[in-house]
């Protein structure tokens, strides 16, 4: 029996407003969609739900607004097994993400932060909640001050930090210095380094973080660390319906696998299977697989 990993997530909660279209509109163009859905999301909440469904004991730290979306977001996290005791409610609107998904499974997203913009630091009790876990997951949909405070707190208390640098932006050296594992996709890695080749980007990023994983979409993932380890793990080949939150599913499942003490090749393969399952279904949190599904997908 593997241990149950304890994971904290400091990040965003958004209501995803999703329009499904044959082809995304060009600038100035209007197209007719075939379907619209409101789906709980946000990179923080997505990673929390993914990790909980994969078998983690997960605490969500962040904020929702005092509106109907906030009630629904809190409920969706709780229904997935995420502890929402550290998820505060603030005046005003919850965060929203306005998403267009085309028939190829691609997406374009506009995020309006709402309540997420208030998470500029930790509330009383948040540091203790982080200390009680083994891993802190971070992203960049809350203010950078909040991300940095979380990373510093985790580092000071011996908790592993896994940072998803999205939306892509230049990062302060202090944040990278407090990051144990960086998980950009290939576009984010290029933004951070100016190098479009993921292998060159990995070498550059290792000057700032001790280990990293660059996700490569349907091509799989690349792992590298300062000891010289280099791994490439292919992704299962599937027909994508909606790639929204595939990266968050990968990170949530990865955190569980590493928290269980799995070797990196096994952890990467398991996380890749989870992400492949998620892209075959519409929606963000709604698409994330349960642990039994992931296990079945990787079983020989």
Q: Is 177 annotated as a binding residue?
A: no
Q: Where are the beta strands (DSSP E) in the chain?
A: 6-10, 14-20, 35-41, 57-65, 87-90, 95-101, 107-112, 135-138, 160-163, 181-182, 211-215, 221-225, 230-233
**Catalytic site includes residue 248:** yes
Among all chains, which residue has been given the structure tokens 């499942």? 253
**Which is catalytic among the residues 57, 126, 180, 248?**
248
Q: Is 41 annotated as a binding residue?
A: no
Nearest Cα neighbor of 109 from 14, 199, 197 is: 14
Q: Is 121 annotated as a binding residue?
A: no
How buried is residue 135: exposed, middle or buried, by Cβ count under 10 Å (0-12/13-18/19+)?
buried
Q: Is 105 annotated as a binding residue?
A: no
Q: Is 217 annotated as a binding residue?
A: yes
Question: Which two tokens mark 28?
Answer: 């100035």
Q: Is 15 annotated as a binding residue?
A: yes
Q: Is 220 annotated as a binding residue?
A: yes
User: Cβ distance 280 to 240 under 8 Å?
Assistant: yes
How buried is residue 227: exposed, middle or buried, by Cβ count under 10 Å (0-12/13-18/19+)?
exposed
Question: Beta strand pairing status for 181-182 and 160-163?
Answer: parallel
Q: Is 95 annotated as a binding residue?
A: no
Distances from the Cα of 208 to the Cαs of 10, 116, 157, 203, 299, in angstroms? 22, 27, 21, 10, 36
Q: Is 43 annotated as a binding residue?
A: yes
User: Cβ distance 189 to 202 under 8 Å?
Assistant: yes
Q: Is 168 annotated as a binding residue?
A: no
User: Cβ distance 286 to 77 under 8 Å?
Assistant: no
Q: Is 221 annotated as a binding residue?
A: no
Nearest Cα neighbor of 10 from 182, 181, 136 is: 136
Q: Is 16 annotated as a binding residue?
A: yes
Q: Is 141 annotated as a binding residue?
A: yes
Q: Is 8 annotated as a binding residue?
A: no
Question: Which two tokens mark 52?
Answer: 């909980």
Q: Is 219 annotated as a binding residue?
A: yes
Q: Is 94 annotated as a binding residue?
A: no
User: Cβ distance 41 to 12 under 8 Å?
Assistant: no
Residue list, annotated binding site: 14-16, 42-46, 141, 185, 215-220, 242, 244, 247-248, 278, 281, 283, 287
Active site residues: 248
Residue list, annotated binding site for substrate: 14-16, 42-46, 141, 248
Residue list, annotated binding site for ATP: 185, 215-220, 247-248
Residue list, annotated binding site for K(+): 242, 244, 278, 281, 283, 287
């Amino acid at each position: 029996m593997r241990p149950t990993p304890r994971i904290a997530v400091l990040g965003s909660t958004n209501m995803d407003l999703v329009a499904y279209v044959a082809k995304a509109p060009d600038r100035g163009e209007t197209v007719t969609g075939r379907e619209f859905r409101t789906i709980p999301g946000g990179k923080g909440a997505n990673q929390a739900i993914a990790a909980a469904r994969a078998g983690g004991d997960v605490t969500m730290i962040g904020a929702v607004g005092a509106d109907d979306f906030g009630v629904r977001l809190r409920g969706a996290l709780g229904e997935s097994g995420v502890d929402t005791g550290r998820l505060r409610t603030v005046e005003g609107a919850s965060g929203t993400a306005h998403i267009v998904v085309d028939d190829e499974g691609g997406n374009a997203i506009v995020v309006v932060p709402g309540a997420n913009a208030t998470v500029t630091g930790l509330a009383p009790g948040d540091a203790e909640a982080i200390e009680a876990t083994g891993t802190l997951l971070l992203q960049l949909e809350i203010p950078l001050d909040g991300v940095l405070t979380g990373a510093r707190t985790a580092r000071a208390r011996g908790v592993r930090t896994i940072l998803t640098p999205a939306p892509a932006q230049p990062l302060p050296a202090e944040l990278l210095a407090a990051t144990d594992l960086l998980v950009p996709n290939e576009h984010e890695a290029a933004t951070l380094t100016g190098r479009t080749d993921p292998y060159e980007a990995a070498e550059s990023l290792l000057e700032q973080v001790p280990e990293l994983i660059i996700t490569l979409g349907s091509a799989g993932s690349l792992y590298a660390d300062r000891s010289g380890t280099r791994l490439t793990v292919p992704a299962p080949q599937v027909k994508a319906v909606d790639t929204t939150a595939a990266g968050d599913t990968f990170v949530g499942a990865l955190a569980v696998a590493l928290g269980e003490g799995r070797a990196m090749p096994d952890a990467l393969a398991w996380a890749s299977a989870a992400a492949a399952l998620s892209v075959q279904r519409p929606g963000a949190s709604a698409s994330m697989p349960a642990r039994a599904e992931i296990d079945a997908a990787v079983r020989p």
